[in-house]
Every structure is written in structure tokens, then in C-alpha cells.
Amino acid sequence: MSVVRTARLLTRRLARLAVACLLGAAAAPAVHAQDVACEAGDREVRALRFEGNRAFSDVELGLVVVTTPSSVVSRLRIVGTRRCLDPDEFPRDLLRLQAYYRRRGYPKAEVDTTVRAVAPNAVAVTFRITEGAPLRLESLTIAGLDSVRDGARLARDFPLRRGGVFDRNLLEAGRDSIIARLRDTGYPAADALPEWTTDLATMTATATLRFVPGPFTRLGRITVQADTTGGRLPRIPEPVVRRTLGLRTGDPFSAADIVEAQRTLYQTDAYRRVEIRVDTAAGVPDSVANLIVTVTEGDLRAARVSAGWATLDCFRTQGDLTSYYFLPRAQRLELTGRVSRIGIGDPLDGAEDLCPQAKNDLYSDKLNYYLGATIRQPRLFRLRRVPSLTLFTSRQSEYNAFRRTTSVGALFSVASRAGSRLPSTFTYQLELGSTEANAAVFCAVFSACDRDAREFLARRVPLGALGYSLVRDRTNDPLNPTSGTQQRLSLRHSSAFTGSDRSQRFSKATLDATWYQRLGGAGSGSLLIAHVQGGALFGGAPPQERLFAGGPTTVRGFRQNELGPVVYLVQRFDTLTAPVTGEVTYFADPAEVPVERTIPVGGNSLVVGNLEAQLRSPVLPQLLSLALFTDAGAVWDRKVRTADIQGRLRFTPGAGVRIRSPFGAIRVDLGYNPYDPIGGAAYYVTEPRDRANGTSQQELYCVAPPNQLLVRPTRPGDAYPVQEPGSCPADFRPRAPSGFLKRLNPSIWIGQAF
């Protein structure tokens, strides 16, 4: 059996094993409630079931009872959580379920239970439910909103409907929703009295909500008080505090606006304490609410320095200096500096052996840096957005793909306030910079195969881009989510209208979504993560805007950015001379000629999918967790019809370890790549050599077989022979790595992958 066939067979088995583990973990029961610890002599709950329930799911009922099953993997005794039957709480679970049903509109519901031994000191618990007929809502009256502005609008989407089940939880939720809307539209004293009657003979109910909105109220005097305890004098003027509040005398009273004003003051980070309360002093009309705002200032300056190491950045450091009160109209000033490639980049090189993967980067010879100054205003007029302006200079590179140097740049953004349910950001970026890329990249991507065309693309030109991003985050923890979903949309557009050079005009859209789901209950420590990403690029985008995949945050079986179109730089080539005509062509035999570098060129279309299960480690479970994953993805160029990569998904299974740390999870992964190298164009780049006239010349030769590009002999004044223009075939395919270990791609990352 060939090595390739053996590797493919092994890959299929690994993929099946990963899928089986994922499905097995996903089969863990979702029913869970309060954890019940096990002690000596207790009976373990191996299974918990509900029978006869049609109105409510097992998950809902599982949250009502205390009895909770052990996690599926707990039988191994080294992972999972064991839970036992509480003899005191178990009888009360029947009462809890019965009360829950009656409150939700099933007054005749009955609950019984069966406890069946399944092993020594282990039982399976079943709650048998007879729901009975539900109470139907015969009529619902909402009174007291006739005198309220837009009263009908306030009562929209009421959760109870005539003919539906009379659910008191929904009745109270609807009442609370209307009261909150009243208090946000000028009625701070609003209240409601719920009334209902039931007829068990006819199984019907009638309900009435009588709202007492109180007087329509506007904001009166707004008094700002600074805490001067200890003789401290306020450093931030009172007009600045008022402007940041965004509240004005005469505005309709709104509880939501008052909370938002308090949050805005806190988010300036200039205050340790902010309190906004209604002045209850006598003599104030009911239609006027005076506010007292009390603020306690904190430190108005903060500094932070951090350092770290990464496989692609080598050593890196970052420093921030923030002033929380800089100017009255530009209250916050942030100075930021970042430097990476320390140890390998000039002038701070000399530690190349500590960063072997970064050393292999074509653009690791110079430091990457960012120096920026940002000013922010907490509130722009009365808009619910935060404006900011950043001036910066930077140098950044993408692994073996390009290096972008920005001499000077400006970024203006208007972002949603923190806490928004759908935070979005509008940006306009204008920068003057240049892009370095290998000659082979310019030739393969932009058809700039001669020296003058490459210099034209690499010159310093303006780039102006409009951007919009939208995030929908419904996860339970922004740093270490274990449940919920998150979606991100990003749009960018560059054209003559935005101030871009004609070589920098494009439109780009990317969308990704992530799902997090616990496996086996909250105490199991297991997690299932699913992620998808897609992107499309239109126009002649510069290299830094193209789409890339491969590496620790996308498809882990491939090295950084190497999933998708690539070009190869070879170390040598052979010359083929036609016997009759004497015409000369250059070619490189992929079976014999070694590849010096693989250069990703990116694409204009991207699809990525990931499925990962994180399982509790049997060793040091509080520190470590194990991961099984399968990644899939494709990157291609719609303008280049290459059957090898045109929208073809590649799957790479793998495994890893997650190490908990104070600064996030450290991920160590091994991805397995079963595929042969992707076919691409092959080039040979000569060393710079002086022409006869003293200028430097460097030639780029297409050497991918079977190219027919003729090479003319050296002429007077030429440093090298010149190859005729033409497209280079993408048929060069390096030798596939032999052996299982050589197909493993290791990666180290800090934080969640997606």
C-alpha cells in the first residue's frame, strides 16, 4: 500500500473517531438543575426522565427540580461529575413540578415518580406527569392606557392571547414589560394591578390589567455634586459632566436614559462612583422630577505595559498611556505603542533560534510596530454613539505574504456604546503607505511580472476605505464563553470617492458565526464549539485586503495562510534548448528541485468551518482540558479557474490541549493534513546584479512546467537574460511529505480560536 493511500486511510479513521467523540459528547443529557454532591452511601442518579410532558420540554422541567443526573462520562470515575439522590429534596420535587404546572395554566396536573435501581447504589429516576386539560384565556382586558401617549403601542406584543393557555408567568411578564415602557416614556410612577378569575368547570379564565400610569413627568433641575471628601477639589469641570450625561431639563422622564447616563459616566473611567437619584424634596410638582448627580473622581491617568511570545511574532511588547480627562471636547487620550518580531527583526535581532517558525517568514527581517494616538468623546451631541479619531504610523506583515508600511494614517470611527445589544461601528480610514510583496506574488496576483509594473504597485499611494462592522453577541462570557452564539459582519469599500489610488479600489465582506454549547451539564467541564466563516472580495484589492486561511485560528492542518492559492520560489531551474530552433525555456522538475519558499497569495473567496469538542482532562482537570477538532476550508480566486482549489473544501482533523491561565486559555494544537501540496506557479528570482549602465537588475523567471515562455539571450547592458511576458501555469506541485509525523502541523495560541 502506498504512503499516500495509507495516510488518507488514517485520516478517514481519525475523522471518524473525532466525529464519534463529538456525537457521543453531544448525546449527554441536557437536563440539569442544582448540583447534588455525593457522599458515602448515597444513591447515584444515573438517569433522569420525564414522561407525559407535552407542554414543557425536559430542559424546562429539569430546571424546576433539584434532582439531577450524573454526567455520562462520570462512570469512568476520572472525568465528569457524580450526582446523588437527596432524600429530603426528592419528595419536594413532586410539589415543585405540580406548582409549576398549575402556575403555567394546568391546574389539574398530577405528578408521580418511579425510582428504579440500575446498579448497586445507582438509580434511574422518572417523573410521570399527567398534565390534564389547560385553562384557556377567555378574555383579557388592559385598562388605564387610554390617557397615555401611544398607549396602544405600549401594549404591543403582549405574550398572552385570547384562546391561549392562561399562564400567570406570561401575564406578569407582560405587565412588567408595559410598566418598564411607561417608565421610559415619562411615567415614573406607573404601576398595575393584575386580576383574574378561573372556572374549573369550563376550564376558562378571565384576566384584567388595570394600569395606573400617574402624571406625565419631565426632568426639572439637574444638580451635579462632586464628592470633596478629604478636601479633594474636582478636576473635571461641571459643564463637562453635564455634557457627558446627555440629560436636559424638559426632557420626558426615562428610567432607561438615566441608567444610560450613569453608564456613560462610568465608561469614561474617570469616576470611581456615580449616583443619579430623584430629588424627593417637598414642593416639587408631580409632573417634574429633579435629579441629583453625585460623582466621585478616580485617577485620571493610567499606564500599562505587557510583553509576550508567539510562534509568528517572536517576542512582542505593548504599552498604553491613557488620560481620562485630556480636553473638554476630547476627554480621553490614549497613546499606544506595539512592537513585535523582537529577536529576529532589525535592529532588535539576535534571537533567531528561539523563534524558528517566525524566522522562516520572508518579512521577519524588520520589526513590526504601531504607534498611535486616539482621542475620544464620550458623547457626540445627543447621539447614542462614541466618536474617536486616531492618528497612527505602523508596519505590519502577513506571514510569507506581504509587508505593509503606513507612513501616516488617520482613522475616524463612530461606535455604539458599550452594552448595546447590537454594537456596530462606522469607520473611515485614510492612510499613505506602501506594500511590499515578493515579485512572484505581484506577478501571480496582479500580472505585474516586469520590474516597472512591480515598482508601480509597490509605490507609496493613498488608501481611503469606508467600513462598517456589526456584532451580535449572545454568549454568557465575553472572554471564556461556554454557551450562546456570536455573529460578526464586516464590510469595507475603497474607491475614488473615498480617496483611494486606482490600484487600491475594492469592496470586501466577511461574515462569521460561532456557537458554544455545554456538554453534560454545567459541572461537566465539556464544551462543543461550532464556527463558520465566509468572505468575498471584489475589485483589484491590495495584498493586505485579500482573504487568507490556514493556521491556528482557521484550518489548523495547514500552515499559516497556506490554504488556497500559493506560488513557489525554487532554488534552481533547468534549461531546455530546442534542437532545431535553439529556443530556450526554463523549467523546474518538482520531483527534484527543492522549494525555497511557499508564498500565499490569498484569494477573493473564502469558506471556513470548524467543529471542536473540549473535554475535561483526567489529569489536573482544574488546569487542563483536552480538545478534538475537525476543520474545513477553501480559499480561491474566482478569476482563476484552477480545478485543484476552486471552491474545494479540505478537511483536517486534530487534537490539542487547553491550559487555563490568568490571561486566557493557552491552546496547543496538532492538526493533521492528509492532502498533497496545492498546485501553483513556480518562479525563480535572481540575485540583484548591476547592469552595464550601473543600475541594479533582478529578474523573475517562470519555471513551472510546461511553460512555453521563451528566454532571449543576454544583450549588451543586461545583467540577466529576459523572459518573454505571459501567464505562468499553476501546475507546479512539490513533493508530498512522507510519513505521518511530517503531516502534523503544530500551533500555539492564546485565547479562543474563534
Q: Strands 218-226 and 288-297: what pairing?
A: parallel
Please report which confidence band the pLDDT of residue 28 belongs to, taking 50, 70 and 90 as the band edges.
very low
678 neighbors 561 (Cβ within 8 angstroms): no
297-to-292, 294, 325, 326, 621 alpha-carbon distances in Å: 16, 10, 11, 14, 43
pLDDT at 364: 84
Q: What is the pLDDT of residues 589-616, one digit of tens each?
A: 998 888 888 888 889 999 999 999 999 8
699 neighbors 689 (Cβ within 8 angstroms): no
Q: How far apart are the first and last CA of the chain?
A: 38
| DSSP-assigned letter for residue 61 | H
User: 694, 701, 703: which is closest to 720 by C-alpha?
Assistant: 701
Angle at which helices 255-267 and 238-245 cross, to 10°: 130
pLDDT at 581: 81
740 burial via Cβ count (<10 Å: 0-12, 13-18, 19+) = middle
Please report which confidence band the pLDDT of residue 686 belongs to, taking 50, 70 and 90 as the band edges.
confident
Q: What is the pLDDT of residues 260-282, one digit of tens each?
A: 889 888 888 889 899 999 988 75
The answer to whether the 31-130 and 136-212 domains have the same CATH topology is yes
What are the DSSP calls for 448-460, one per residue? --SHHHHHHHHS-
pLDDT at 23: 34
pLDDT at 497: 93
C-alpha–C-alpha distance, residues 459 and 361, integer Å: 22
pLDDT of 105 higher than 50: yes
Buried b (16+ CB within 10 A) or exposed e, 432-464: ebebbbbbbbbbbbbebbbeeebeebbeebebb
Q: Which CATH superfamily is domain 218-297 in?
A: membrane protein fhac (3.10.20.310)
What fold characterizes domain 136-212?
Ubiquitin-like (UB roll) (3.10.20)
| DSSP-assigned letter for residue 687 | P
- Under DSSP, is residue 630 helix (H, G, I), strand (E, B) or coil? strand
535 neighbors 511 (Cβ within 8 angstroms): yes
* pLDDT greater at residue 285 or residue 54: 54
pLDDT at 83: 86
Q: Return the C-alpha cell found at 163.
A: 384562546
Q: What is the pLDDT of residues 607-652, one digit of tens each?
A: 999 999 999 888 877 788 899 999 999 999 887 765 556 568 999 9
pLDDT of 402 higher than 90: no
pLDDT of 2 higher than 50: no
pLDDT of 22 higher than 60: no
Task: Provide the CATH number for the domain formed by 31-130 in this structure.
Answer: 3.10.20.310
pLDDT of 709 higher than 80: yes
C-alpha–C-alpha distance, residues 68 and 354, integer Å: 50
pLDDT at 292: 92
C-alpha–C-alpha distance, residues 716 and 692, integer Å: 7
Sequence-ordered strand ranges (E) for 546-705:
566-570, 574-577, 584-587, 595-600, 605-616, 624-636, 650-659, 666-672, 681-685, 689-690, 696-697, 700-702
- Side-chain-side CA neighbours of 44 within 13 Å: the count stands at 15
* pLDDT greater at residue 59 or residue 145: 145
- Under DSSP, is residue 160 helix (H, G, I), strand (E, B) or coil? coil
46 neighbors 31 (Cβ within 8 angstroms): no
Q: Which of 95-99, 404-408, 466-470, 748-752 has the lowest mean pLDDT?
A: 748-752
Q: What is the pLDDT of residues 536-588, one digit of tens each?
A: 999 878 888 899 999 999 999 999 889 988 889 898 899 988 888 888 999 99
pLDDT of 7 higher than 50: no
Q: What is the pLDDT of residues 273-323, one digit of tens each?
A: 999 999 887 566 778 999 999 999 888 999 999 998 877 788 999 999 999
Task: Residue 410: count other Cβ atoms within 10 Å of its Cβ.
Answer: 14
pLDDT at 167: 93
Q: What are phi and psi of 263, to 5 degrees?
A: -65, -40
Q: Give the domain ranges of the chain.
A: 31-130, 136-212, 218-297
pLDDT of 24 higher than 50: no
Q: Return the C-alpha cell found at 43.
A: 444513591
C-alpha–C-alpha distance, residues 30 and 59, integer Å: 6
pLDDT at 656: 93
Please report which confidence band the pLDDT of residue 382 belongs to, taking 50, 70 and 90 as the band edges.
low
Task: Residue 664: count other Cβ atoms within 10 Å of its Cβ.
Answer: 14
Instruction: Please report the sign of the dihedral spanned by the C-alpha atoms of residue 390, residue 396, residue 398, residue 403.
Output: positive
329 neighbors 284 (Cβ within 8 angstroms): no
User: 113, 30, 44, 29: which is closest to 85 by C-alpha?
Assistant: 44
Mean pLDDT, the chain, integer: 84
Q: Which of 232-236, 252-256, 359-363, 700-704 has the lowest mean pLDDT?
A: 359-363
